[in-house]
Chains A and B, each alone.
Chain A
Amino acid sequence: MSAPFTFTLPPELSAKEPPERRGISRDQVRLLVIDRASGKIRHSRFDKIDTYLRANDLLVFNSSRTLPASLRGCDCSAAHGPCMEVRLAERLPDDSWLALLLCEQGDPFGCGLREGMQIDFAEGLNARVMARDENISRLWKLRFSISGSQLVDLIYRLGKPIRYEYVSAPWDLDYYQTVYATEPGSAEMPSAGRAFTWKLLLDLKRCGVDAAYVVLHTGLSSYMDDELDRAHPASEEEYFVSRTTAAKINRAREIGGRVIAVGTTVVRALESVVDETGRVKEKQGYTRLKIDKQHRLKAVDALLTGLHEPEASHLDLLSAFLPAEKIRAAYEEAIRRKYLWHEFGDLNLIL
Chain B
Amino acid sequence: MSKLTGKNILITGASQGLGRAMSLRFAREGAAGLSLVARHIDQLNKVRDEVRKLAPKIDILVIEADVSKPRDIERVVATSLAQFKGHLDVLVNNASTIGPSPMPTLLDYPVEDFREVIDTNLIGPFLLIKNALPAMIERGGSIINVTSDAGQVGYPSWGAYGISKFGLEGMSQTWASELEETGVRVNWVDPGNMNTAMHRAAEPEEDPAEWTNPADVIDVFLFLASDESKGVSGKRFQAQEDWKAELARTTGTKDTK
Q: Which residues of A contact B137 (CB under 8 A)?
A: 180
Partner of B85, one of A67, A156, A183, A206: A183
State whether B74 touches A179 (Cβ < 8 A): no
B212 is an interface residue with CB less than 8 A from chain A? no
State whether A63 touches B181 (Cβ < 8 A): no
A134 is an interface residue with CB less than 8 A from chain B? no
Q: Which residues of B contact A205 (CB under 8 A)?
A: 181
Q: Which residues of A contact B133 (CB under 8 A)?
A: 198
A183/B75 contact (C-beta < 8 A), A202-B181, A206-B181 known: no
Residue-wise interface mask of A (159-186) relative to B, using a CB-CB cutoff of 8 A (1 in contact, 0 not) = 0000000000000011000011111110
- Contact residues of B between 180 and 194, Cβ < 8 Å to A: 181-182
Residue-wise interface mask of A (213-247) relative to B, using a CB-CB cutoff of 8 A (1 in contact, 0 not) = 10100000000000000000000000000001000
Q: Which residues of B contact A183 (CB under 8 A)?
A: 81-82, 85-86
- Contact residues of B between 61 and 111, Cβ < 8 Å to A: 61, 63, 70-71, 74-75, 78-83, 85-86
Residue-wise interface mask of B (46-73) relative to A, using a CB-CB cutoff of 8 A (1 in contact, 0 not) = 0000000000000001010000001100
- Give CA–CA (A99, B170) in the complex, Å: 46
Q: How large is the interface on B (under 10, 10 to 19, 20 to 34, 35 or more residues)?
A: 20 to 34
Q: Which residue among A173, A211, A215 has the maximum number of chain B CB atoms within 10 Å of its CB?
A: A173
State whether A149 touches B79 (Cβ < 8 A): yes
State whether B74 touches A156 (Cβ < 8 A): yes
A148 is an interface residue with CB less than 8 A from chain B? yes
Number of A interface residues in the complex (CB < 8 A): 26
State whether B78 touches A184 (Cβ < 8 A): yes
- Give CA–CA (A250, B235) in the complex, Å: 38
B222 is an interface residue with CB less than 8 A from chain A? no
A40 is an interface residue with CB less than 8 A from chain B? no
Q: Which residues of A contact B42 (CB under 8 A)?
A: none
- Contact residues of A between 22 and 54, Cβ < 8 Å to B: none
- Give CA–CA (A202, B85) in the complex, Å: 24
State whether A149 touches B134 (Cβ < 8 A): no
A152/B134 contact (C-beta < 8 A), A157-B75, A173-B74 known: no
Q: Which residues of B contact A182 (CB under 8 A)?
A: 81, 86, 134-135
Q: Say how far B58's CB is from chain A's closest CB, in angstroms.
A: 14
B138 is an interface residue with CB less than 8 A from chain A? yes
Partner of A152, one of B82, B86, B138, B182: B82
A181/B134 contact (C-beta < 8 A), A65-B78, A156-B78, A157-B75 known: yes
A63/B79 contact (C-beta < 8 A), A182-B86, A202-B181 known: no
Q: Which residues of B contact A149 (CB under 8 A)?
A: 61, 79-80, 82-83
Q: Say how far B48's CB is from chain A's closest CB, in angstroms.
A: 13
A153 is an interface residue with CB less than 8 A from chain B? yes
State whether A153 touches B135 (Cβ < 8 A): no
Q: Which residue among A152, A185, A206 has the maximum number of chain B CB atoms within 10 Å of its CB?
A: A152
Q: Which residues of A contact B70 (CB under 8 A)?
A: 174
Q: Say how far B54's CB is from chain A's closest CB, in angstroms.
A: 21
Partner of A184, one of B82, B181, B182: B82
Q: Which residues of A contact B81 (CB under 8 A)?
A: 65, 182-184
Q: Which residues of B contact A174 (CB under 8 A)?
A: 70, 74
A156/B181 contact (C-beta < 8 A), A173-B74, A182-B86 known: no
Q: Which residues of B contact A244 (CB under 8 A)?
A: 138
Q: Which residues of A contact B85 (CB under 8 A)?
A: 183
- Give CA–CA (A239, B80) in the complex, Å: 19
Q: Which residues of A contact B83 (CB under 8 A)?
A: 148-149, 152
- Contact residues of B between 97 and 148, Cβ < 8 Å to A: 133-135, 137-138
Q: Say how far B76's CB is from chain A's closest CB, in angstroms.
A: 9
A180/B78 contact (C-beta < 8 A), A153-B63, A206-B181 known: no
Q: Which residues of B contact A179 (CB under 8 A)?
A: 134
A63/B75 contact (C-beta < 8 A), A149-B61, A184-B81 known: no
State whether B134 touches A63 (Cβ < 8 A): yes
Closest to B35 in A: A149
A213/B79 contact (C-beta < 8 A), A156-B74, A174-B74, A183-B85 known: no
Return the 8 tightest CB-CB contacts between A and B, nearest first.
Answer: A183-B86, A156-B75, A182-B86, A149-B83, A152-B82, A184-B78, A180-B134, A182-B135
Instruction: Known A-B contacts: A63-B86, A152-B82, A153-B79. Give 7 more (CB < 8 A).
Output: A149-B61, A152-B79, A179-B134, A181-B134, A182-B81, A184-B82, A185-B82
Residues of B within 8 A of A (CB): 61, 63, 70-71, 74-75, 78-83, 85-86, 133-135, 137-138, 181-182
Sample 11 A-B pairs with CB under 8 A, ordered by A number: A63-B86, A65-B81, A67-B78, A149-B79, A153-B75, A179-B134, A180-B134, A180-B137, A182-B81, A183-B85, A202-B182
